[in-house]
Structure 1
């Protein structure tokens, strides 16, 4: 099962997708795992043994509290997904349990990928971090991949602001299994384009 739309998916199309999607399609023991550190995931042999691959990108997007607040606002309004080939409805609430579709244009059709927010974390004045905001979402039935992804923005002790993407994933459908090298390329492309979208947001007047 997967979800296609020949035109740009409407809110009604996305609601129909989410109504059919059902529950998470990855092992419950990994729910919330992306809230941990990159190093802990890299050392987790069980993840590797079960076929999950780690995808990570961390980019400096500026400095200062103002840039951090703009970066946080970008994430809270799904600005990191608003591109001509992918989007999330910007009114989708960033709260645990909220379901949403990542809509992606692949050649002629659009794909609708159902997910659910697993956690939302905001920290202030933690060790080596002045402020950070992050949320993680897990894939639902009907998503071509199985796994979890975290987006975060962080103001560190040196007053630098970082945008980070961290995910674990593996194929959940025959199409993604056959085309997984292409999927990995698309993940890297998304990381670059998403960073540009956030940078555009934080540098806007």
Structure 2
């Protein structure tokens, strides 16, 4: 099952995709895994044993609490997906359990790939002025990949603001299986473009 559209997917098409998508397409034991510390996951090695590959990018995007709050707003309004080749409906609420589509233009057709938010986390320590906001989404049936992805914005103890993407995935369809090297390259390209989009929002 693959969800395609020859034109930019309408809200109605995205809704139909979500309604037909079904449940998560990856093992429940990995649900919420992207919320864990990256170092502990690397030490554990269970993801790689089950055939998952990880993608991680952490980019410095500015400094100060105001920049952090603006970065948080960027994630909440899906500015990190604001491209002509991929988007998420910016009205999609950031809340656990919410289903949505990532729409991606691949050559001629558009792909609609259904996901569901697994968690939303926000932490703030007023004592040392550290704060973070993140959310993780898992793939549903009908997605070309199986796995989970986290987006985060963080204000560290040195007043620096970081934008972070972490995901693990493996092919869930023969199309992604035969084109997986391309998929991995596209993930890295997205991380670069997404960081630029966040920076652009912060400087506006």
> Fold match, TM over 0.5?
yes
Alignment of 1:59-138 (within 5 A): 59-125=59-125, 130-138=130-138
* Unpaired segments ≥5 residues, structure 1: none
Distance 1:127 1:171, change over 3 A: farther
1:4-52 Cα distance to aligned partner (Å, 9 max, x none): 0000000000000000000000000000000011111212222111100
Taking the aligned partners of 2:52 and 2:118, their CA distance within structure 1 comes to 18
Deviation at 1:128, TM superposition (A): 7.4
TM-score under structure 1 normalisation? 0.97
In structure 2, the residue corresponding to 1:19 is in which secondary structure?
Answer: helix
Q: Report the Cα distance in structure 1 between the residues aligned to 2:177 and 2:155, rounded to whole angstroms.
A: 37
Aligned to 1:148: 148
| Structure 1 position 127, deviation (Å) | 9.5
Q: Give how far 1:129 is off.
A: 6.8
1:83 is paired with a residue of what secondary structure? coil
Q: 1:135 aligns to what SS in structure 2?
A: strand
Deviations 1:136-179 (A, max 9, x none): 00000000000000000000000000000000100000010110
Q: Distance in 2 between matches of 1:127 and 1:52?
A: 38
* Alpha-carbon separation, structure 1, partners of 2:36 and 2:21: 27
Matching of residues 32-43 of structure 1 within 5 Å: 32-43=32-43
Instruction: State the match for 1:199 in structure 2.
Output: 199
The CA RMSD measured in Å over matched residues stands at 1.2
Q: How does 1:38-57 map to 2 (within 5 A)?
A: 38-57=38-57
Q: Post-superposition shift, 1:183?
A: 0.3
Structure 1 counterpart of 2:18: 18
Please give the secondary structure, in 2, of the residue aligned with 1:43. Answer: helix
Count of residues paired in the alignment: 204
Q: Using the alignment, how far apart are the partners of 1:44 and 1:142 within structure 2?
A: 29
Cα separation, 2, equivalents of 1:177 and 1:3: 17
Q: Provide the C-alpha distance between the structure 2 equivalents of 1:129 and 1:29, rounded to a whole number of angstroms.
A: 34
Contact 1:129 1:154 in 2 (8 A): no
**1:31 and 2:52 matched:** no
Q: Distance in 1 between matches of 2:127 and 2:32?
A: 21
TM-score (norm 2): 0.98
